[in-house]
Amino acid sequence: MASPYSPPHPQNRGKQPSLSQLRAFASVAEHLHFRDAAAAIGMSQPALSGAVSALEETLGVQLLERTTRKVLLSPAGERLAVRTRAVLDAVSELMEEAEAAQAPFTGVLRLGVIPTVAPYLLPTVLRLVHRRYPELDLQVHEEQTSSLLEGLAAGRLDLLLLAVPLGVPGVTELPLFEEDFVLVTPRDHPLAGREDIPREALRELRLLLLDEGHCLRDQALDICREAGRADGAEVTTTAAGLSTLVQLVAGGLGVTLLPHTAVTVETARNSALRTGLFTGPAPARRVALAMRTGAARHAEFGELAEALREELRGLPVRVVDGDS
């Protein structure tokens, strides 16, 4: 047996104690009796004794003082018993954490949402999560699309809720719904309240849009180009958010386009505003969840997308099948 201060045998240099050896020693340190210690961990007494001896050889330290009547911890054994228990506790916590990670809809989910979706869909998302996934720690980050995609690629975010298509390699989209755009005008505007507005009307309107960087601005400009509006036609851009945008419309500075889910929140309390609907097919946008392709939680995110589709059926949207 190694002396209390002898170095490990040359053949054992670089070897690491096994968990079996550590468990054997921890049990002996607790019971100070080989038979009781062996029974406590379901190991035979010879195997337990051999495991402790192998640990002493690996460490180059005598851990026990054996007599015919009892077992005592050496001074080194008393110190290392504390370390051994800490190691075994840490391994136990690691296994518990791994087991918890296997359970869907537990732990942290960092969801990124664009500003033109967050105020209108988050109440629905939060109700769903609280009701169906109470163990999920949902953390919401509202950012513009470019920032969200950077966060997803870097691992800062796990899942995104935004307008698509993105056309970004390495990102998988889980479509949720499509929604029409609604024209928001001052109360006395010639198009106020109409339900048969042709897209061509967008060619000459004084249009108010969000600042650069908002995907809704780009979508609105695409709609205008499809309607035949010249690229050089005047577009007044003075708002960083939809709430400000509709206030500018109410003040008579122009008209704007809102996604249908935003209309009630942004216009219901302002009698100076009216909405108009386009003739079909109306200009629309698609909203989806987006995740890293091959994400470890892809099955969980797919299930969440399906649950959201069901939850969204009461909103003014067209729910999209998951395969669409």
Q: Is residue 324 part of a domain?
A: no
Look at the block and give the residue holding tokens 């928001």. Answer: 184
Asked if pLDDT for residue 98 goes beyond 80, the answer is: no
pLDDT value of position 49: 92
Question: For residue 10, what pLDDT band results from cuts at 50, 70 and 90?
Answer: low
Instruction: Please provide the average confidence, as pLDDT, over all residues in the chain.
Output: 88
Write the CA distances from 287 to 29, 121, 177, 227, 252, integer angstroms: 61, 10, 6, 22, 30
Question: For residue 312, what pLDDT band results from cuts at 50, 70 and 90?
Answer: very high
What residue numbers bound the domain in which 129 lies?
A: 107-176+289-319
Q: What percent of the chain has pLDDT over 70?
A: 90
Question: Does residue 133 sit in the same domain as residue 232?
Answer: no
Question: For residue 238, what pLDDT band results from cuts at 50, 70 and 90?
Answer: low
pLDDT value of position 3: 44
Q: What is the pLDDT of residues 192-225, one digit of tens each?
A: 999 999 988 888 888 888 887 777 788 888 888 8
Task: Return d(Cα 210, Cα 231) in angstroms, integer.
Answer: 16
Q: How many domains does the chain have?
A: 3
Pairing of strands 256-259, 318-319: unpaired
Question: Does residue 165 sit in the same domain as residue 94?
Answer: no
Question: For residue 12, what pLDDT band results from cuts at 50, 70 and 90?
Answer: low
CA atoms within 13 A on the CB side of 255: 25
CATH number where 251 lies: 3.40.190.10
Question: Does residue 211 sit in the same domain as residue 280?
Answer: yes
Phi and psi for 15 in degrees, rounded to 5? -75, 155
CA atoms within 13 A on the CB side of 32: 10
Question: For residue 8, what pLDDT band results from cuts at 50, 70 and 90?
Answer: low
Q: Is residue 83 part of a domain?
A: yes
Question: For residue 151, what pLDDT band results from cuts at 50, 70 and 90?
Answer: very high
User: Lowest mean pLDDT: which of 11-20, 151-160, 167-176, 287-296?
Assistant: 11-20
Question: For residue 2, what pLDDT band results from cuts at 50, 70 and 90?
Answer: very low
pLDDT value of position 4: 46
Across 150-154, average pLDDT? 94
pLDDT value of position 94: 86
Question: Does residue 172 sit in the same domain as residue 302?
Answer: yes
Question: Does residue 301 sit in the same domain as residue 157?
Answer: yes
Greater model confidence, 56 or 14? 56
Q: Is residue 5 part of a domain?
A: no
Across 279-288, average pLDDT? 90
Question: Does residue 167 sit in the same domain as residue 121?
Answer: yes
Q: Is residue 138 part of a domain?
A: yes
Q: Is residue 1 part of a domain?
A: no
Question: Does residue 111 sit in the same domain as residue 93?
Answer: no
Question: For residue 240, what pLDDT band results from cuts at 50, 70 and 90?
Answer: confident
Asked if pLDDT for residue 100 goes beyond 70, the answer is: no
